[in-house]
């Protein structure tokens, strides 16, 4: 543990700047707003802040469509504001990680503007341009170069009238995919990354970084995907952790980080990544990335129709999945631990009880996650137990491009009520409503009209109220973060899952030398018995979410109770 990297014993906090704190009354969060709230982060005790994109962007996908990687969007402020934010965080011992979105750019990025201008453009090959499918007239339905669907509904190819060719966009049509096969693209990205490190940032969260390498054939064509429903196919086998991905990430590490003094953190966001891939991506000897965001656990409540066809979670499946990741990265590599981010519904609404047991279930879920082996990530508002956006009740209330594009397509075959129920449970705007700072109008987020309405429950659910209440979700997160710092077994102990077949209680142990921790979480609103070894009777309680916890075996857990106990 002495030589363990610094990021094994810290906690990362994600800021989605648009919804964090507005300083100028335009209803959109900004960097000067972040400055007003740095003490909240310091009090919580996090060691790193990751900023979702604040770069120049047409905001088609809320900043994940970047038109200038080396400037701040005026919505959020200026480079000088960012320097101040970085300095204010550094002063408090908090490192700063930026979002690196280089699978695609905005269609307004000068690189793409140049690339699309003619087939002879020197930047033509920086993106994926292809003619219509052989034997099909350009523009005809199904004439796209492959049958791949985009993540945001519809085909992944857009016909560009300027040259009559199609370009690839795995996300929106305003997010054309960069061609990482081209060494000039890689050089340009690495130069940009070095510029940010020179400016003082401490690392990157790398957006969909395992999608960079596409399985292009020697003749330049790309393979079709298997089509389940008519015209569109699943292209993901041809770009998920593709043929050259390890080479690209190793080159990035070599050219950006190797030999540079400093303590950096890199985390690759990797939809579809397997444990076996993750062992390779995070093996320190291979020098690619420090850790990955995997998606297995957050897919467990997706139904056959995907995320907008949700089904209830089975606790045994969650344990099997997270347990496999714990075991798979025990001897090599490292896990990142998360329930929430700006793309996921709020965990207390998703797998807890955001009604009668909001405090209990939010703190139980936090305890179980943070006591796993790995680096925990807290998404803004999660530390308050913020809930899903029950107040977005009509199609016109939604702002998220994924939801809106899905709605436009699915309207033809699903009722509006059915779709609204799906978005209410799983839509990305659930995570994007403004942070609830206090009980005042718009929760202290803005003096103007918020870009997405504040949840009306801010009157009782807010940071000011929780700071004053030692039993609050906020103080529980603060204690969890401190525990990781103070008890080495939390960061460095090994992990053993218990009770794998129990549908109600999550249970595991952590061991470091002669210290052993037992972690229990009741995932139900009823009392449960946890059938654990009698050696735990009267063990020392490190943390719980009820007053006066009782440790006699079997342990009787109250609704949504969490317990962390220690013995030597």
Q: How far is the CB of 386 from ligand ISL (least distance, A)?
A: 18
- In the bound complex, what is the minimum distance in angstroms from residue 227's beta carbon to ligand ISL? 20
Query: Measured between alpha carbons, how far is 509 from 495 in angstroms, rounded to an integer?
Result: 6
Cβ 5 to ligand ISL, closest distance in Å? Answer: 24
**Residue 252 · residue 193 · CB < 8 Å:** yes
Query: CB of 20 within 8 A of CB of 431?
Result: no
CB within 8 A of 183, min separation 6: which ones? none
Which one of residues 75, 96, 208, 563 is an interface residue with ligand ISL (CB under 6 A)? 208
The least CB distance from residue 164 to ligand ISL, in Å, is 27
Instruction: Check binding of 343 to ligand ISL (CB under 6 A).
Output: yes
Q: Is 64 in the site for ligand ISL (CB under 6 A)?
A: yes
Regarding 487 and contact with ligand ISL (CB under 6 A), the answer is: no
Residue 73 or 207: the one with the smaller Cβ distance to ligand ISL is: 207
For the bound state, the minimum distance from the C-beta of residue 244 to ligand ISL, rounded and expressed in Å, comes to 20
* DSSP structure class, residue 303: E
Query: Shortest approach of ligand ISL to residue 273 CB, angstroms?
Result: 11
Beta bridge partners of 507: 498, 520
Our finding on whether 61 is near ligand ISL (CB under 6 A) is yes
3-state secondary structure of 448: coil
- Our finding on whether 402 is near ligand ISL (CB under 6 A) is yes
Looking at the Cβ atoms of 249 and 565, the one nearer to ligand ISL is 249
Positive or negative: CA dihedral 71, 76, 78, 82? negative
Cα–Cα distance, 550 to 266 (Å, whole number): 41
Residues between 87 and 116 that touch ligand ISL (CB under 6 A): 101
Minimum CB distance to ligand ISL smaller for 64 or for 127:
64
β-partners of residue 518 are 509, 565
DSSP annotation string for 450-496: -SSPPPGGGGTS-HHHHHT-TTSHHHHHHHHHHHHHH-HHHHH-EEE
Does position 536 bind ligand ISL by CB under 6 A? no
Q: Which residue lies nearer to ligand ISL by CB, 358 or 405? A: 405
**Does residue number 373 form part of the binding site for ligand ISL (CB under 6 A)?**
no
Residue 160 touches ligand ISL, criterion: CB under 6 A: no
Q: Which is nearer to ligand ISL, 405 or 458 (CB)?
A: 405
Query: Which of 176, 271, 333, 549 touches ligand ISL (CB under 6 A)?
Result: 271
- Sequence-distant (6+) residues with CB within 8 A of 398 are 392, 404, 407, 423, 427, 429
Rounded CA-CA distance 435/42 in Å is 17
Q: For residues 110 and 127, give the distance between their C-alpha atoms in angstroms, rounded to a whole number.
A: 12
Asked if residue 171 binds ligand ISL (CB under 6 A), the reply is yes
Give the x-and-dash track for 215-234 against ligand ISL (CB under 6 A): --------------------
Query: Distance between CA 85 and CA 32 in Å, rounded?
Result: 8
Nearer to ligand ISL, 171 or 508 (CB): 171
**Rounded (5°) CA angle 53-475-520:** 100
CA dist., res. 505 & res. 528, Å (int): 7
Strands (E), 299-398: 302-303, 306-310, 336-337, 375-379
Peptide bond before residue 143 is cis, with ω within 30 degrees of 0: no
Tell me if 151 contacts ligand ISL by CB under 6 A: yes
Name the DSSP letter for residue 210: G
Count residues near ligand ISL (CB under 6 A). 14
In the beta sheet, which residues pair with residue 167?
Answer: 129, 158
Name the residue nearer to ligand ISL (CB basis): 305 or 448: 305
Q: Which is nearer to ligand ISL, 308 or 445 (CB)?
A: 308
Q: Which residue in 207, 288, 353, 561 binds ligand ISL (CB under 6 A)?
A: 207
Q: Which residues are catalytic?
A: 207, 269
Residue 400 interacts with ligand ISL (CB under 6 A)?
no
C-beta of 245: minimal distance to ligand ISL in Å?
16
Site for ligand ISL in 127-146 (CB under 6 A): none
Q: Does 302 bind ligand ISL (CB under 6 A)?
A: no
CA distance 328 to 491: 17
**For residue 177, what are the β-bridge partners?**
104
Binding test (CB under 6 A) with ligand ISL, winner from 173, 307, 346, 476:
307
Round to whole Å and give the CA distance between 355 and 387: 9
What does the DSSP assignment read for 10-22? --EEEE-GGGT--
Nearer to ligand ISL among residue 51 and residue 508 (C-beta): 51
Contacting ligand ISL within 415-474 (CB under 6 A): 428
Question: Do 49 and 30 contact (CB within 8 A), yes or no?
Answer: no
- Whichever of 107 and 516 has its CB closer to ligand ISL, that residue is 107
Cβ atoms of 100 and 164 closer than 8 Å: no
- Residue nearest ligand ISL by beta-carbon distance: 64
| 253: contact with ligand ISL by CB under 6 A | no
Point out which residues bind ligand ISL (CB under 6 A). 61, 64, 101, 151, 171, 207-208, 269, 271, 307, 342-343, 402, 428
């Amino acid at each position: 543990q002495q030589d363990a990297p610094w990021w094994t014993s810290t906690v990362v906090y994600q800021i989605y700047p648009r919804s964090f704190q507005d300083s100028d009354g335009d209803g959109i969060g900004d960097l000067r707003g972040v400055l007003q709230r740095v003490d909240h982060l310091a009090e919580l005790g996090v060691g790193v802040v990751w900023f979702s994109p604040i770069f120049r962007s047409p905001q088609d996908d809320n900043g994940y469509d970047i038109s200038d990687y080396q400037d701040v969007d005026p919505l959020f402020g200026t480079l000088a504001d960012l320097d101040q934010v970085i300095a204010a965080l550094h002063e408090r011992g908090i490192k700063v990680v930026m979002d690196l979105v280089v699978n695609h750019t905005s269609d307004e990025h000068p690189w793409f503007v140049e690339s699309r201008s003619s087939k002879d453009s020197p930047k033509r090959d920086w993106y994926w341009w292809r003619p219509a499918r052989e034997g099909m007239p350009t523009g005809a339905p199904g004439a796209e170069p492959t049958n791949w669907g985009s993540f945001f509904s519809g085909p992944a190819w857009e016909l560009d009238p300027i040259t009559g060719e199609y370009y690839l966009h795995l996300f929106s049509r305003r997010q054309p995919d960069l061609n990482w096969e081209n060494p000039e693209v890689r050089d340009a990205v690495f130069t940009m990354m070095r510029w940010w490190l020179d400016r003082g940032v401490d690392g990157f969260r790398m957006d969909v970084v395992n999608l960079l390498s596409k399985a292009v054939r020697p003749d330049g064509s790309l393979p079709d995907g298997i089509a389940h429903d008519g015209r569109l196919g699943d292209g993901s086998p041809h770009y998920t952790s593709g043929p050259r991905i390890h080479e690209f990430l190793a080159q990035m590490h070599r050219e950006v980080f190797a030999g540079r003094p400093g303590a950096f953190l890199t985390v690759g966001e990797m939809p579809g990544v397997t444990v076996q891939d993750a062992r390779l991506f995070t093996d320190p000897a291979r020098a690619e990335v420090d850790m990955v965001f995997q998606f297995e656990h957050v897919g467990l409540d997706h139904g056959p129709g995907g995320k907008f066809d949700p089904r209830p979670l089975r606790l045994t499946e969650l344990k099997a999945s997270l347990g496999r990741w714990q075991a798979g990265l025990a001897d090599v590599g490292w896990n990142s631990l998360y329930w929430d981010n700006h793309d996921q519904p709020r965990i207390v609404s998703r797998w807890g009880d955001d009604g009668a047991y909001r405090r209990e279930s939010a703190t139980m879920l936090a305890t179980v996650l943070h006591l796993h082996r790995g680096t925990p990530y807290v998404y803004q508002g999660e530390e308050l137990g913020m809930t899903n956006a029950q107040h977005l009740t009509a199609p016109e209330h939604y702002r998220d491009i994924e939801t809106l594009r899905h709605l436009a397509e699915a309207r033809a075959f699903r009722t509006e009520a059915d779709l609204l129920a799906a978005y209410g449970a799983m839509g990305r705007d659930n995570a994007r409503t403004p942070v609830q700072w206090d009980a005042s109008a718009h929760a202290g987020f803005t003096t103007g009209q918020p870009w997405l309405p504040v949840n009306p429950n801010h009157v009782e659910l807010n940071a000011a109220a929780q700071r004053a209440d030692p039993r609050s979700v906020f103080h529980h997160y603060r204690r969890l973060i401190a525990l990781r710092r103070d008890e080495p077994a939390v960061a460095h102990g090994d992990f053993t899952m218990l009770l794998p077949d129990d549908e109600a209680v999550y249970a595991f142990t952590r061991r470091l030398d002669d210290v052993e921790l037992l972690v229990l979480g009741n995932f139900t609103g009823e009392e449960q018995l946890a059938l654990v070894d009698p050696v735990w009777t009267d063990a020392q309680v490190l943390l719980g979410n009820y007053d006066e916890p009782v440790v006699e075996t079997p342990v009787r857990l109250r609704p949504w109770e969490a317990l962390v106990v220690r013995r030597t």
